[in-house]
Amino acid sequence: MARPVSRFVCAECGAVTPKWAGRCETCQAWNSIFEEKLEAAPGLSAKGAKSAARRIEFVDLAGSAAPPPRAETGISELDRVLGGGLVPGSAVLLGGDPGIGKSTLLLQAAASLARSGRKVLYISGEEAIEQVRLRARRLGLTDAKLGLAAAINLRDIVATLETAGDTTLVVIDSIQTMWLDEIDSAPGTVSQVRACSFELIRAAKTRNFAVVLVGHVTKDGAIAGPRVLEHMVDAVLYFEGDRGHQFRILRGVKNRFGATDEIGVFEMGENGLAEVPNPSALFLAERRGNIAGSAVFAGIEGTRPVLVEIQCLLAANAGGSPRRSTVGWDSSRLSMLLAVLETRCGVKFNATDVYLNVAGGLRISEPAADLAVAAALISAATETPTDPGMVFFGEVGLSGEIRQVAQAEARLKEAEKLGFDSACLPRRIASGNRKLAAPTGLTLREIGHLSDLVARFSGKTSASASRATMSS
């Protein structure tokens, strides 16, 4: 039987199929399948072997106790997401939509490292040298002594890095523009991206420098998404945010040298990215009290408490099935909450369009936000503002019960710091071990069931004022 000469790989999820298709069977993405040429796979037979096999060495688990040395970039929001700085010999993938600020962030980090006396190389395959210089001028970084090059030929790049001496960081902007001549496909295809990354990571490991690969994520799949190389690198960071908003959030999704749930918050301004050491104040800056449909969620992102405003708008449905639209939150989680509110608490949303928004462009994945979302929904349904001095957190179960969430103390402390005076949270279980470790100055409204929350609102309003019908 003839051996297949090529296979097809999905750029979004990495699934391999023998045949091309317009849509990936595995992840359902459209136009994401690309051909990859297969080279004759080397077998283990002695014929093709280039060198005699050597014995591998086994060692014990103890080793040296010292943690890996790290190079701090001096941008603490970035260092925290990295787990304390760049680890020599590691590879980091920085993904994100085009134009979100990846090159800006890396240029700032590279310049900061270079200023601390380390050797940094910035290789741009996307922008010409003058463009990068222009940006550096705008960011006030021209005094930093870093090596800048515009190159896409990976053979040249790797050969240069082999002789580059004691380098701390190499930035490759972006991996989709890199090109290895022995691979028979265009830059940006799965095979090029994979082969180029492999060579760069190997160079990083042998020469002990950290390499940061920039990868664009595109929805239309015109170029290979960096998903296929997530498993090849040590850390994957995503830079997210709305280009219309000034906030940018750096999120760790994989990290072999640190926690993955950390976020770094930045603000994009005239002079590049500024760190936001206190994101809560920023996320709440535009909040206007006394508006129905808004509730403040006391969340935890990584090791940091973050307060954000959840906004909900209800609109009469013009016929057809009602719309459910969410920004920054999981839409199936919203459907679940609506179902619980309807079935367990008698608040009906079946004739209303529901729009839910996490203000400031943050994306929340914690179930602890359930209670705040429910409060925003009930507040909108009853047209009664939530108490502007109150924060909410707690998970809602399918029977409407409010469940405990982790780190209640940290959430309360942050709320207190930002001038809130009360908190609505899950009822503590009497058994003692769930008691709050630290006393808080906030008034605590502990609730056990979602209907308790509904009762608080319906007590304040006349039923006729409500847009959604309250049937109980």
Q: Is the peptide bond before 379 cis (omega within 30 degrees of 0)?
A: no
192 interface partner picked from Mg ion, ligand TYD, none, CB below 5 to 8 A per type: none
Cα–Cα distance for residue pair 165/354, rounded to 1 Å = 59
C-alpha dihedral (458, 461, 466, 470), degrees to nearest 10: 20
**Residue among 57 and 270 whose Cβ is closer to ligand TYD:** 270
Task: Count other Cβ atoms within 10 Å, centred on residue 182.
Answer: 8
Indicate whether 124 belongs to the interface with Mg ion (CB under 5 A).
no
Task: Count other Cβ atoms within 10 Å, centred on residue 465.
Answer: 10
**Residue among 139 and 232 whose Cβ is closer to ligand TYD:** 139
Indicate whether 176 belongs to the interface with Mg ion (CB under 5 A).
no
**Residue among 266 and 392 whose Cβ is closer to ligand TYD:** 266
104 interface partner picked from Mg ion, ligand TYD, none, CB below 5 to 8 A per type: ligand TYD
Cα–Cα distance for residue pair 268/266, rounded to 1 Å = 6
Which residue pairs, CB below 8 angstroms and at least 24 apart, start in 215-219?
215/93, 215/94, 215/95, 215/174, 215/175, 215/176, 216/95, 216/96, 216/97, 216/98, 216/174, 216/176, 217/95, 217/96, 217/97, 218/97, 218/98
Pair of tokens at residue 446: 């502990």
Residue window 59-98: x/- pattern of binding to Mg ion, with contact defined by CB under 5 A: ----------------------------------------
**Residue among 99 and 289 whose Cβ is closer to Mg ion:** 99
CB 124 to Mg ion: min, Å: 8
**Strand extents, DSSP E, 193-278:** 210-216, 235-240, 247-255, 263-269, 272-275
Q: Which stretch binds Mg ion (CB under 5 A): 60-68, 87-95, 102-110, 429-437?
A: 102-110
120 interface partner picked from ligand TYD, Mg ion, none, CB below 5 to 8 A per type: none
**Residue among 85 and 272 whose Cβ is closer to ligand TYD:** 272
The answer to whether 260 and 252 have CB atoms below 8 angstroms apart is yes
272 interface partner picked from ligand TYD, Mg ion, none, CB below 5 to 8 A per type: ligand TYD
94 interface partner picked from Mg ion, ligand TYD, none, CB below 5 to 8 A per type: none
If you count them, how many residues does the chain have? 472
**Residue among 106 and 372 whose Cβ is closer to ligand TYD:** 106
99 interface partner picked from ligand TYD, Mg ion, none, CB below 5 to 8 A per type: ligand TYD
**Residue among 268 and 364 whose Cβ is closer to ligand TYD:** 268
Selection from 445, 457, 468, 325 nearest residue 394 by Cα: 445
Indicate whether 177 belongs to the interface with Mg ion (CB under 5 A).
no
Indicate whether 218 belongs to the interface with Mg ion (CB under 5 A).
no
CB 363 to ligand TYD: min, Å: 17
Burial 197-216 (b: 16+ CB within 10 A, else e): bebbbebbeebebbbbbbbb
**Residue among 103 and 357 whose Cβ is closer to Mg ion:** 103
**Residue among 135 and 287 whose Cβ is closer to ligand TYD:** 135
DSSP 431-472: TSTTS-SS--SSEEEEESBHHHHHHHHHTTS-GGG-SS-B--
Selection from 292, 230, 220 nearest residue 260 by Cα: 230
CB 54 to ligand TYD: min, Å: 43
Indicate whether 382 belongs to the interface with Mg ion (CB under 5 A).
no
CB 282 to ligand TYD: min, Å: 16
What is the contact surface with ligand TYD in residues (CB under 6 A)? 96, 98-104, 135, 138-139, 268, 270-272
CB 307 to Mg ion: min, Å: 32
The answer to whether 82 and 92 have CB atoms below 8 angstroms apart is yes
Indicate whether 103 belongs to the interface with Mg ion (CB under 5 A).
yes
Task: Count other Cβ atoms within 10 Å, centred on residue 123.
Answer: 24
Footprint on this chain of Mg ion (rule: CB under 5 A):
103
